[in-house]
Amino acid sequence: MGVQVDSPQMFTIVQLDDSCFPRALDVLTDAFQDDPLIRHMFPANTKEESQPFFSFLLAKSILLNELLLGIECNGELIGIANVERSVRNRVGIFQIGKLIYQSLRFAFRISFRNFIFINNYMKLTSSLRPENPNHYLIFISIAPKHQGKGVGRMLLDHIHSLVEQSPHSSGIGLDTENAKNIPLYERFGYKLIGTEFMEPVTIYSMFRPK
C-alpha cells in the first residue's frame, strides 16, 4: 500500500519489490550519470556499465529486507531510495545463499579494480558511522526530468518520519561524494561528521540525529 502525498499532482510513496527492478534501474542509471563515484568506476559508458552495480544493490536490498522505497507521479516511478534499517531482521539460509550468488554474479560482471574499490569504499564508509543503532541512506535518486521540483524532499521527509518513529534508531546517516550536496542535506538537519579521501573521490559522511 502506498502513502499519498498532498500535491496538485498525484504523488505516491510505495514499497518496491523485484517486479519494479527494470523501472528502478532506469531511474538509477539516469540519475547517477554525473555522480563522482559512479563516473570514476564507469567512465566509458556510465549508464550501461553501472547497471550491474545498481542491479546488485537492488537485489541486496530485497534479500536483506532493507527499505526500498519509490515515489510515483501518476503511476510513473520517478524516484527511489534505499535505506538500511537500524535493526536488521534475521536472514534465512535461502536468502544468504541467494545473496552469495548475487555477490559472485556481480563480481564477475565488473572489473577486479572496481570490485576492490567498492569493497574498500564500503569498509571506509562503515567506519565513519556512529556506533549507536541508526538507519543509513544507501542511495536516493530522482529521475533527471523531475529533479528540482521537490520530489526528493517528499521522499526524504517520508524517510525521516519513519526514522523518527523507530524506537531503536538514533538517527540516519549517509555518504556523498558530491560537495554540492552538503548544504542541501544540511537544510534537512544533517551534520558533517567526517571527511575521507579515497583517490580520486572525497567522501563526506553526514548524520541526522533524532
pLDDT digits (tens, 9 = 90+) for 161-179: 999 999 999 999 999 999 9
Neighbours of 132 (CB within 10 A): 11
Which CATH number goes with the domain that contains 148?
3.40.630.30
Q: Are β-strands 11-15 and 3-5 bridged in parallel, bridged antiparallel, or unpaired?
A: antiparallel
Give dist(CA 165, CA 133) in Å, integer: 14
Q: How high is the pLDDT of residue 95?
A: 86
Omega before residue 130 within 30° of 0, cis? no
Is 10 within the bounds of a domain?
yes
- What is the average per-residue pLDDT within 194-201? 93
Is 205 within the bounds of a domain?
no
Q: How high is the pLDDT of residue 1?
A: 47
Enclosing domain of residue 153: 3-113+130-169
pLDDT digits (tens, 9 = 90+) for 69-127: 999 998 899 999 999 998 877 778 888 899 999 999 999 999 999 999 999 999 999 99
> Is 135:172 a contact under the CB 8 Å cutoff?
yes
- Residue-wise over 162-187: b if at least 16 C-beta within 10 A, else e? ebeebeebbbbbbbbbeeeeeeebee
Report percent pLDDT > 70 for the chain.
96
Provide the number of structural domains found in the chain: 1
> Is 172:208 a contact under the CB 8 Å cutoff?
yes
* pTM, to two decimals: 0.91
Is 121 within the bounds of a domain?
no
Give dist(CA 51, CA 27) in Å, integer: 11
